[in-house]
Amino acid sequence: MNETLAESTGHAFRTLVGLRFSKGHGTGNDFVLVADPEGEHTIAAEQVAALCDRHRGIGGDGLIRAVPSRFLPEGRELLTGTPDAEWFMDYRNGDGSLSEMCGNGVRVFVHFLRTEGLVDLPDGGALTIGTRAGTKTVVRTGEDYAVDMGPWEFIFPGEATAKAMDSLVTADGLEVPRPALSVSMGNPHTVVALAELSELAGTRLYTAPEVDPVPANGTNVEFVVPSDPLVHDGVGSVTMRVHERGVGETQSCGTGACAAAVAIRHWAGPEAPDTWRVNVPGGVVGVKFFAGPGGHEHVELSGPAVIVATGTLS
């Protein structure tokens, strides 16, 4: 017997029948994408969760609605200072909860705008978009994208500076709690360094790690193994797994890769490089630190974006 997605997920979902969508990913971090150029679609949290369900829905780590900034209060606020941020990345985690932004999602979002014909972005061109973590500028580099993620900061700067750690993380598969460092990339991250790849593989992320103290809005948790040697030809290298808020373990996390590079570079000391290669289960992303406006250090995230399918809800 054939059963439509609307029939399998209840009455509330039927309001979205006929909605066009795409499915895309950045290094395995995958999203349902919806174009809403007229700002007419309201997708409730429970509908997002149904769409992102990997057994009864389309499946995804989150849902991105591409909507003009003028249709959202957050977007209108950004437009007052950055009038060229025409498009807003309205992002929700896979459980339907709002999220500030997603580094892999930003690249996929811009690629989606291109494939839908909503923007013209030639190779080398730049596009400024709105997110709940402020505006982000994305540069097309061939078939990849590089995103100025903006400045990073420590969530607990006193402890980070004095002790190089600010919390303890308990995770299934690790015998004892591990020291960690909390970094904001516009959204919160807590980074744990592990010694061996075998230890990383043995860490079970079916359930959320416990973080003490946990940042005010919760946190994503990255488990990172530095390469040996850490630096090769001037580029640092690490391997990472991540548990994302409201999602669980994902194949990749762009802001998490940036946070991991921030933490490992801090622990490595002043001679650590500004360019990093972050290996995640879904592939490889690049992280680069550079001087931004006003003397604040910014982080650039680079990597691929792919649209794998399009369809219509029935």
CA distances from 208 to 63, 125, 131, 146, 158 (A): 21, 39, 25, 30, 26
For 162, the token pair is 């004095």
Q: How many whole angstroms separate alpha carbon 174 and alpha carbon 199? A: 8
Dihedrals phi, psi of 10, to nearest 5 degrees: 100, 175
- Catalytic residue, from 5, 191, 253, 260: name it: 253
For 203, the token pair is 């860490």
- Whether the bond between 273 and the residue before it is cis, its omega within 30 degrees of 0, is no
Q: How many whole angstroms separate alpha carbon 167 and alpha carbon 143? A: 39
For 231, the token pair is 């630096």
Yes or no: say if 93 and 104 are a contact pair by the CB < 8 Å rule.
Answer: no
- Catalytic residue, from 78, 102, 110, 221: name it: 102
Please list, in sequence order, all residues whose beta carbon lies within 8 angstroms of the beta carbon of residue 42, skipping any fewer than 6 positions away: none
Residue 204 zone, left/alpha/beta (φ > 0; ψ -120 to 50; rest): beta
Q: How many whole angstroms separate alpha carbon 212 and alpha carbon 177? A: 10
For 257, the token pair is 């890769």
State yes or no: is 253 an active-site residue: yes
Residues involved in catalysis:
102, 253
